[in-house]
Every structure is written in C-alpha cells, then in structure tokens.
Amino acid sequence: MSGELSGGMNGSIKKSAPMVFTTADIVTAFGMLVCGFLYWNLINVVSLGLGVTLFTAVLCIVVIAYFRNAGLRQSKESLTLLGIIILSAASFALFDGILIKALHFIFLSLAFVYWVCLSAGTRLGNKISLYILSDMLHQLVVIPFGNFTGCFTGLKQVFVKNKKGKNVLGGVIGILFFLPVLILVVTLLANADAAFEGLMGRIRFSISENVLEHIRNIILGLPVACYLYGLIYGNRYKRHVGNATVESVNEHVKAFRFAPDVTVYSALTALNLIYVVFFLAQTSYFFSAFGDSLPQAMTYAEYARRGFFELCAVSGINLAVIAVAHLIVKRDKVKILHGETATLCIFTLALIVTAMSKMGMYISYYGLTRLRVYTSWFMIVLLFLFVIVLFRQFKGFQGTRIAVVGCICLFIALAYGNVDGMIAKYNIDRYRAGTMETLDLSAISDLSDGAIPYLYELYRETDNPKMKEELKRIITRPPYNELEDYDGFRDFNMQRYKADQIRNIL
C-alpha cells in the first residue's frame, strides 16, 4: 500500500515512504477542508449545541466512506465505539449546561481519535490495555502532525499539472495566509486617516458580516483540516504509526524500573502505617457520618466540609502512588508489592466511603448543588477504580479494559443525567415534602435551562408572592449565553427550546 512504512507495526522502523495519493485521497482532502470550515462554523464554544452533533455526523460519514474505499471494515469494537460517539454527540442537541458539555466535548474528541485508530487497526495489541496510553499519544500528536502537510500535498497534485493551476493555488494560499496582516494594516490606516476610514466604511457596508465570518472560519479551518487529514491518512497508510510497537513500549517501561524493591516497599509500608494511626486517632470524628451524628461544637456544614476535599485529594494521591510504585519498582518480590498495594487500597476505600457518607449527610440537610453532584460522582469513579486495583492484586484479569469501559459508562450517565434538572427537582421535592426548611433560590438561579421546567412547576403551585416573583425573575432571566453569541440552529438544544417556550408564556 502506498505510503506504508517498510517493516510494518512490529518490524524494524525505517524512513517513511513518500506520500502518494489516489483519487479517493484527493477527494477526502477536499472533504477535510470543508470539515475544517464546518468545525468553526457549526461549533460554538459558548453553547456547544446542535452544531456539535451535526459536525460529528458529517466527520464520521467522511471517515467511514474513506476507510471503506480503502477496504477497511468496521470491527465489533470500532462499531461499539462509534455507537458511543453517536450517543455522545446526540447529547449536545438534548441538554443544556455548558460545564458538563465542555467536558463532554473533550471526551467526544478523544473518543473520535481512538475510533479512527480502531477502524484502521493501528492500535498496539488486540485488546484494551495499558498500551492505550501509548496509542493515544501517537494518535493525538505523532500521526496527525507527522502527516500534517498531507492535505495540501494531496490537493497540490490537482493543480501542478499545468502552470496556471500552480499559480492559482499559490495565489489563493498566499492571500488566505496573508489576509490577517492585510486586515491589520487596513485597520491601522483607517485609524490614521479620516478619508481612508470613510472609504473603508463604505466598502465594509457593502460586504456582509457573514462573508467576513466565513473568511475567518476558512482561515481557522485550515489547520483543523490538516490535523484531521493527517490523522486519517496516516492511519490508513500506517505512516508514522510504526514508531511505537509493543516491544518498544515494553522496553521504555523497563527503563523506568530503577527503584530497588526495598525502597518502594519501605515507602508504601510507611504510608500504610500513617493510615493506621490516622484511623485509630480519628475514628470517632470521621465516622460520625455513619451514625448521622455530629462532633461537639460543629454544624453539619462545618463537619461535612472539613476534611472532605482533603479526603478526595488523598484518594487521588494514593492512586498516583500505586501507579508510580508499580512503574518504578524492580519486580523481585511481587507478592510483597501486591500486599502493600492491597493494604493501601483498603485504607483508601475506607477514606472514600467516609467522604461519601459525609457528603450524603451534607446533602440530606442542605440539598444538592453542582459541586456536590460532581464531587460525589468523582468519588464513585475513584471507588470503582480502587475496587478494580484491589481485586487485581489477587487475581489476574483485564482490569484496564473494565476500568475504561466502566469510566465511559459513568461519564455517559453523568452527561445524560440532566444534572441541573435533577438538582432543581430534588431540592424542590424536598422543600415540598418539608424535609428541607428553605429553598436556596440564589443557588438554583445559577443552574442552566434544564432546571426551568421544575422551577415553572413550582411557580404555578406556590402561593407565596415573594417566592413567585423570585421564581419568575429566575425563569425569565436572559439565558446564560444570550449576550455571547447565540446563533440559531447550531446552538439549539431541547432543554433551551422548552425553556424558551416557558419564557414566552410568562
């Protein structure tokens, strides 16, 4: 296959062959230019709405057609990941709430990159393992930038057949890349001379703002097109994917195993002893949450907050300590390493359960907020990971695969959980039932449009005129991104659409 590395994935690595382009490669290069433009035209980082869903659909269709032309068929794993990508992309058209959507957009981007790797069959090994870290490094950096010029190199072949074509291509590229400088110069000259400013004003009046925006999107879309084309072209022809093999990664990992076992085991033992002392000294204080009782002279808020985030941080540090210990230790006494790791996991699980109990007490008295939901979710993820690490010390199984699949499921559940709506519903239901004395409307006012239907329901039911007025103010407030760049269909999502209907009623 043209452009393939001699030696393949597991052979000796030699210099990459020159890029050779078929008709399908050139057509796809034009398609990537369109995708680069659509990336900025459809995706608004302020709102991340329906445009993300549409762009993902277009990009996946182009990649599937390109790989299908190359004889690359979707495997069961790649089809599964494609389903996750579709599910992930669909959520942008359904839910509001920019924070979780920003994290979801990062997840969607990483999932797409790994899906390309699976579709082309260029990952290390034949299953999900720790080699996924090396795969992601190569797929995100090495392959796209190693083939970054492929898009324009392929397009160049269309124009180099005759001199006029060359000149046209060179002129267009020169104007596009030099356009920002021209705009800057014109702006400075307009500020320096009133007559020139008037002339430019008349010219600008005749040019639609959309045209200027499209030109901006075209310019910004060029590097996006080059990156995406470098990714899929490099995976199809396996250019630069052979720079890492299972053997080379294993050799790099062995190079990190420099620490004598006694050094690592002594450090782990010292850490475990600290936890023994900690739990013995703080048993009555930290485990009060299990009995729903408070230490003397402390409120529920003080008790829940004090130490909660420290426990979260310690749990994260312990996970890093375990990873580093298994990476750097010389594997002479594996049973001791497993024993130390299992002990540390047990202590960490106790810390996590304690922290979750404290948060549960806090929520039971003060209700839900975004921070409480997200930290609780994070603790569930840590709990899940430490359980896997603990059982992995006693029995061999595909722990990395379970961890990756589990974390993806937990993240999708969070994305589809309608967090803001759930917070509003939970707090309102508790307030109605009388199990919460007050409803914190100031905290609810920061929620996205996902909370509006529940607020409107309370607005219709309440007889408290002060609360009714405050609820109306919250419901009819300008959407969180209205003053930014709300632009029709690309920013559309169902929750905002329903909230707008309620606003129109009020």
Residue 293 confidence (pLDDT): 54
Q: Which residues pair with 259 in a beta bridge?
A: 329
Residue 214 confidence (pLDDT): 76
pLDDT digits (tens, 9 = 90+) for 222-275: 999 999 999 999 999 988 776 666 777 777 777 777 778 888 888 899 999 998
Q: How far is CA 399 from CA 107, 328, 385, 394, 396, in A?
A: 21, 20, 9, 12, 8
Residue 8 confidence (pLDDT): 38
Tell me if 110 sits within 8 A of 118, measured CB to CB.
Answer: no
Nearest residue to 409 (alpha-carbon basis) of 386, 384, 373, 426: 384
Show the tokens assigned to 152.
């324009």
Burial class (CB in 10 A: 0-12, 13-18, 19+), 172: exposed
Q: What is the DSSP letter of 131?
A: T
Please give the angle made by the CA atoms of 294, 302 and 271, to the nearest 5 degrees: 85
Tell me if 377 sits within 8 A of 426, measured CB to CB.
Answer: no
Q: Which residues of the chain have pLDDT under 50?
A: 1-14, 205-207, 481-485
pLDDT digits (tens, 9 = 90+) for 375-390: 899 999 999 999 999 9
Place of tokens 């400075």: 188
Report DSSP letters for 65-101, one per residue. Answer: HHHHHTT----HHHHHHHHHHHHHHHHTTT---HHHH
Q: How far is CA 354 from CA 42, 49, 175, in A?
A: 45, 38, 62
Tell me if 95 sits within 8 A of 495, measured CB to CB.
Answer: yes
Contacts from 382-386 at CB under 8 Å and sequence distance 24+?
A: 382/312, 382/315, 382/316, 382/319, 382/348, 382/352, 383/349, 383/352, 383/353, 383/356, 384/410, 385/319, 386/315, 386/318, 386/319, 386/345, 386/348, 386/349, 386/352
Cα separation, 260 vs 47, in Å, equals 52
Residue 205 confidence (pLDDT): 47
Nearest residue to 92 (alpha-carbon basis) of 411, 422, 495: 495
Residue 204 confidence (pLDDT): 56
